[in-house]
Structure 1
């Protein structure tokens, strides 16, 4: 995920992707995973985690290679969807295998801690690896970095993953999962469409109607079923609802900030992908520290105080970044990014504690799925909403010079990527004028997005403080 963030500007120009296509290239991964995590967890119980894990790795490998070979933005979206399907098979299998292999509570805690730390480290080095690849090779290799890793893991996994597992005879409700995926994608597409002028009203309201209808059907099935895919009764507990909101908000803020800052650094200030990745390194490194720190503070001060504080500090960091000058790497940017990553990670761990503490032991698995879905959906929706706000603000901010305004197609002002593509069709002098206007507009739009996000997070912090009880 984080490797792809620094590759977006290169992908945009290489594939001539529109602003909407760029968002879908990133969004489809998290959206597909959010809808498939719960049913894939059920499938792992049914056929065994080892089998699901190995097949998920194989699908992930094939989809990654396919993504590296595509020649159009639409095909890349399809490849990303297939990659997400494989990832959704892998994620619940990992946790199931850890629970099976490590029977001792302390050993299991160490294993889970190692898994979490490696995940955070992967997020931290992702932008640097992506930046290095893009500096020395084409964007295609960004997707091929998965291939050697999986080629190593597959045979080792075949040998070491436990073969004898108790499997469940419960029904695997993939039909319900597909309904949920359709609902999520329909609603998100409608949300995007309402901010774009080149989409017909029928398409906007049609996708919204399909999305809402699918989600309504999914909810009715869950309420009537004796063995629902998702126990909606868990949402009656305020702490679980607050935890889900925290997971959505924290994951969305982190993904959205990485997405927008990477674009400004490369499009506006001409940073290389490697340099852009290095700028975001404090943000990602801090996430590896936030989890253990959060556990200590929650035990001492409680979820309410820790969650509220983490959100308020995160909001302050966003305001600080909005005022920062990204043309040079200064102390304000480093400190703000580090504190943002640290406190967003603290907020994410607090969300897990809130959800798991409120859930009864017999429903811990369902509660864990809710938290995982919140995180994955937050990643997708965060980029979507940040991207929408950025695009809308950019369109209002860009001032086309009168002498070239008539030469720019309507599509050329929808995003800075579209403007850069339009500039290639102009003579050098006109192109330089257009690019300068685009850079000014994008910096202004990015500032507005960070301020808006900070304000929303501050409001949610107050709501969390009110809703959660002191205990």
Structure 2
């Protein structure tokens, strides 16, 4: 490989270090949900917005930020994004109300959106050899999974000794480390795309995605009148249609819509969106089950979830090897089928007496999902030429963030509905308090704190029983969804695709 970049592995280290704080931030919050809910007296709706405003807003910002990086340079946007992310982490750590925390998470989304498109685009442009690229993407997946693995554990350890804001403050020393490393390792000279950055197109895309997602959220959750939710949803669709027309009519589109003509890329995007959504929802559900129902401390809950995340940490290199040997189609479909089977088992497992079976199945789930997600990255990056790696990376990152946000929304709304139907409140509980307690188990705990000791204990016991049933229904539903997704991906990917040879896959 005479033309290979001699610094390519050092560059990989730099972008992986830049990516690490983002994935830690996405999972570390799950373990802190019960603590911040009670500390901020946040409603179930506010908790959902605290969690998913970050991925949902980032989903709208990723493509515009990726295009901006193409215009002014990936290094500059990456370093700016890391600085913004660090400042926003401090704002989130010292939030005194739910709206403040939601606003800080919005700034975090801006920083994350500046970082994410640069990472995959740099990897695609740096590694021309298909096997090295599969290995590099596997290592990138390992860092992502490892960050997710230590996120709950770090969060649990911090909450054992400090207040909930410490889960955000941990990002500040990470930024202090990552910024100088990225500044030193990333090349100061890089090719950029000529032309201006179409801010009008960017705003249209951002507004369209946010309106679309908010309409879906409001409609599913019933937080707004149905006509209003449908109106916002329709406005989002119109804005996205306007954006698509702009892309087709301009000589320098922000997003090359011809990318969607690659069936393998489309399959990879669908897989990334659905799988990451399921994983985010399952992680949140497990964290709540362990703390609310089984009375585990945040640290104990983090330790309990180590098998799923630790196994996920080794899935990246395994996915690269298996994809080179057996093809992306087989690896993707089989990993999803195994994940579905593992979730089906966990839906009815006894977490109070887990034995060896539950940790083992959690490990299988983490490994299978990690392999599937890395395989989707390999499929997406192998479906386009290097010059379009940044755009493909933006699309993949958008699928991850949109999948995370919609997955948490779906799980949250689904959980609230099932929990409300299953909860049997004490007969002497005033109707307004009973109505609030039925919204979520977090609300039940908040209401219980306002009651006498006997009433509070009865409500908490009823909440635990209702949430255990809710937990089983959610995991069973997720298992069915992943099983169906395995079939869809098998069909979409058509035949076995040689990694890196997109021209022959379509």
Q: Distance in 2 between matches of 1:186 and 1:354?
A: 30
Structure 2 equivalent of residue 132 of structure 1: 157
Aligned residue runs from structure 1 range 53-132, under 5 A: 53-95=78-120, 114-132=139-157
Q: By how many angstroms is 1:234 displaced?
A: 2.2
Q: Deviations over 1:139-188 (max 9, x none)?
A: 01111001112123334444444333333322223433333333333233
Say whether 1:401 aligns with 2:396.
no
Structure 1 equivalent of residue 325 of structure 2: 300
CA contact (8 A) 2:290 2:301 kept: yes
Q: Distance in 2 between matches of 1:41 and 1:467?
A: 27
Q: Distance in 2 between matches of 1:303 and 1:106?
A: 13
Q: Distance in 2 between matches of 1:166 and 1:360?
A: 16
Ranges in structure 2 where 5+ consecutive residues have no aligned partner = 1-25, 497-506
Q: Distance in 2 between matches of 1:301 and 1:159?
A: 38
Q: Distance in 2 between matches of 1:218 and 1:329?
A: 51
Alignment counterpart, residue 224 of structure 1, candidates 238, 245, 249: 249
Alignment counterpart, residue 261 of structure 1, candidates 286, 292, 307: 286
Q: Deviations over 1:115-152 (max 9, x none)?
A: 44333221111111100010111001111001112123
Q: By how many angstroms is 1:386 displaced?
A: 1.4
Secondary structure in structure 2 of the residue aligned to 1:326: coil
Alignment counterpart, residue 5 of structure 1, candidates 18, 27, 30: 30
Structure 2 equivalent of residue 326 of structure 1: 351
Structure 2 equivalent of residue 288 of structure 1: 313
Tell me the matched-pair count: 471
CA contact (8 A) 1:356 1:364 kept: yes
Q: Distance in 1 between matches of 2:415 and 2:386?
A: 43
Say whether 1:234 aligns with 2:250.
no
CA contact (8 A) 1:195 1:392 kept: no
Compared with structure 1, are the counterparts of its residues 120 and 467 closer, same or farther at alpha carbon in structure 2 (3 Å cutoff)? closer
Q: TM (normalized to structure 2)?
A: 0.87
Alignment counterpart, residue 142 of structure 1, candidates 123, 148, 167: 167
CA contact (8 A) 1:279 1:329 kept: no
Q: By how many angstroms is 1:207 displaced?
A: 2.6
Give the aligned CA root-mean-square deviation in angstroms. 2.4
Q: Distance in 2 between matches of 1:407 and 1:242?
A: 47
Q: Distance in 1 between matches of 2:83 and 2:388?
A: 31
Q: TM (normalized to structure 1)?
A: 0.93
Structure 2 equivalent of residue 165 of structure 1: 190
Q: Deviations over 1:424-451 (max 9, x none)?
A: 2211111111111111111111111111
Q: Distance in 2 between matches of 1:156 and 1:344?
A: 30
Structure 2 equivalent of residue 189 of structure 1: 214
Structure 1 equivalent of residue 44 of structure 2: 19
Compared with structure 1, are the counterparts of its residues 251 and 312 closer, same or farther at alpha carbon in structure 2 (3 Å cutoff)? same
Q: Distance in 1 between matches of 2:190 and 2:31?
A: 41
Alignment counterpart, residue 486 of structure 2, candidates 453, 458, 461: 461
> Bigger CA drift: 150-159 or 236-245?
150-159
CA contact (8 A) 2:117 2:397 kept: no
Q: Distance in 2 between matches of 1:67 and 1:119?
A: 22
Q: By how many angstroms is 1:350 displaced?
A: 2.1
> Bigger CA drift: 244-253 or 301-310?
301-310
> Bigger CA drift: 391-400 or 401-410?
401-410
Q: Distance in 2 between matches of 1:470 and 1:155?
A: 45
Aligned residue runs from structure 1 range 179-218, under 5 A: 179-197=204-222, 199-218=224-243
Compared with structure 1, are the counterparts of its residues 233 and 48 closer, same or farther at alpha carbon in structure 2 (3 Å cutoff)? closer
> Bigger CA drift: 197-206 or 22-31?
197-206
CA contact (8 A) 1:322 1:451 kept: yes
Q: Distance in 1 between matches of 2:424 and 2:219?
A: 23
> Bigger CA drift: 155-164 or 12-21?
155-164
Compared with structure 1, are the counterparts of its residues 35 and 325 closer, same or farther at alpha carbon in structure 2 (3 Å cutoff)? same
Say whether 1:376 aligns with 2:401.
yes
Aligned residue runs from structure 1 range 344-423, under 5 A: 344-360=369-385, 362-406=387-431, 408-423=433-448
Structure 2 equivalent of residue 441 of structure 1: 466
Compared with structure 1, are the counterparts of its residues 444 and 6 closer, same or farther at alpha carbon in structure 2 (3 Å cutoff)? same
